[in-house]
Amino acid sequence: MAELLRVEGLKSGYGEAVVVQGIDLVLEKGASLALLGRNGTGKTTLLNTLVGATRRHAGRIVLDGTDLTALPSYKRAIAGIGWVPQERNIFKSLTVEENLSAVARPGPWTVSRAYEMFPRLEERKRNLGNQLSGGEQQMLAVARALMLNPKLLLLDEPLEGLAPIIVEELLRSIGRVVRDEGMSAIIVEQNPKMILPITQRAVVLDRGAVVHEGDSEALLADPDTLDKWLAVASH
């Protein structure tokens, strides 16, 4: 497969504090990556750096041949990055449909396709963003990112704090997008056993550096490595 994302020697953080410590990463087109690690290991900082929301101290970021390193966030979105941050950042004073249509760019993902993926959103298409439950807001945040028709989808803990039934629904939808439809994605998740089955590759961070990289299925079947870096019990 052709290369989509290349990260070389990336160091970044907030102000003078360096959180991400020299990361090298390559993601192929159509591939999905689980980004794992305990709290505070640099996962969110890495995603924030890819979208241009941190201070970069060193390194390069190239997306599909375009050097993003010096570009502001909005130009990175135009270049093909779709981002769902932990805060979701939906437009709470706009309706569901306005949230989707406001950011839509040409491509296979349309409002009707978003509704097909998330029927709850169609049922609430005239509701304002602040009238939705937390789970519905997360669905809207994911659908809105897809409306950009991105080359790379970044999801920062999309399942955090949601009811189990919503988690199942979102997991099915994300799995369909990345596994069945081949959307390139990097997904940060605290629970590796949820996200590894729907991704192809896995990277584990510790203290801002890559300590494990390999096949998702192999990591899922390796309780010792899971326990060492993620404190996941082997039973």
Q: What was the pLDDT predicted at 1?
A: 74
The reported pLDDT for the residue numbered 233 is 53
Per the CB < 8 A criterion, the answer to whether 166 and 138 are in contact is yes
Q: Which pair of tokens denotes residue 61? A: 């970021």
User: Are residue 121 and residue 225 in the same domain, yes or no?
Assistant: no
Say yes or no: 162 and 76 in one domain. Answer: yes
Band of the pLDDT at 234, cuts 50, 70, 90? very low
Q: What is the domain extent for residue 118?
A: 92-149
Q: Which two tokens stand for residue 192?
A: 């590796």
* Average pLDDT, rounded, for the chain: 94
Domain check: are 12 and 54 in the same one? yes
**114 and 25 in one domain?**
no
pTM of whole model > 0.85? yes
* Residue 12 shares a structural domain with residue 59: yes
Q: Which residue has the tokens 């769902």?
A: 84
Per-residue model confidence as pLDDT tens digits over 155-175: 999 999 999 999 999 999 999
Structural domains counted in the chain: 2
Domain closes at, from 149, 166, 189 = 149
Pairing, β 152-156 against β 184-188: parallel
* Cα gap 201→199, rounded to integer Å: 6
- C-alpha torsion sign, points 199, 202, 207, 208: negative
Domain-embedded: residue 87 = no
Q: Are both 18 and 118 inside the same structural domain? A: no
- Residue 85: inside a domain: no
Q: Is the pLDDT of residue 100 over 50?
A: yes
User: Are 141 and 175 part of one and the same domain?
Assistant: no
- Quick check: 129 and 99 in contact, CB under 8 A? yes
On the CB side of 107, CA atoms within 13 Å amount to 16
**CATH assignment at residue 19:** 3.40.50.300
Residues 113 and 168 placed together within one structural domain of the fold: no
Give the residue from 123, 149, 175 where a domain finishes. 149
69's CB contacts (< 8 A; 6+ apart) are 56, 59, 60, 61, 62
Question: Does the residue 86 lie in any domain?
Answer: no
SS3 57: strand
Same domain, 10 and 73: yes
Q: Are residues 127 and 160 in the same domain?
A: no
Is residue 171 in a domain?
Answer: yes
Q: Are residues 158 and 142 in the same domain?
A: no
